[in-house]
Amino acid sequence: MSMFRIFDVASSGMTAQSTRLNVTASNVANAESVGTTPDSVYKARHPVFAAVRDQQLMQQSEITKVRVSDIIEDQTAGRQRYQPGHPMANDDGYIFASNVNPVEEMVNMLSASRSYESNIEMMNTAKQLLIRTISLGQ
């Protein structure tokens, strides 16, 4: 019944992908936020995935889970707009927008939801196979 470990692997993938989806959501929500200085404005965040080999599990088989090792802030410069009437404009009349790239975020969202689905499918398949194995010989 070593197939039970597929559930661990798939759920680690689902957790990682849902974190990615959450980060994407917060990026999209803050895409239009502005600030007076480049440092005060929201910066796009990106999760960093890392493969994990569980020591205890590794003795039995080469299974590899995934986890979010870090969430980094995108350091590229954001857009700068001349809008003197804006309440957050600086002395020169400029406001600074966040560096969120909406296209990139949409792609991230689609990729994350597809990966999440494939993890679910994997779990379903493993479940069906296990149920059939349990009812073997009946």
Binding site for another protein (CB under 8 A): 2-3, 5-6, 9-10, 12-13, 16-17, 20, 48-51, 60-66, 111, 114-115, 118-119, 121-122, 125-126, 128-129, 132-133, 136-137
Closest CB 2 distance from another protein, rounded Å: 6
Residue number, 65 or 95, with CB nearest to another protein: 65
Closest CB 27 distance from another protein, rounded Å: 16
Residue number, 69 or 80, with CB nearest to another protein: 69
Closest CB 4 distance from another protein, rounded Å: 10
- In sequence order, what DSSP letters do the residues of the chain get, joined into one string? -GGGHHHHHHHHHHHHHHHHHHHHHHHHHTTT-EESSTTTS---EEEEEEEEE-HHHHTT---EEEEEEEEEEP-S---EEE-TTSTT--TTSEEEE----HHHHHHHHHHHHHHHHHHHHHHHHHHHHHHHHHTTT-
Closest CB 34 distance from another protein, rounded Å: 31
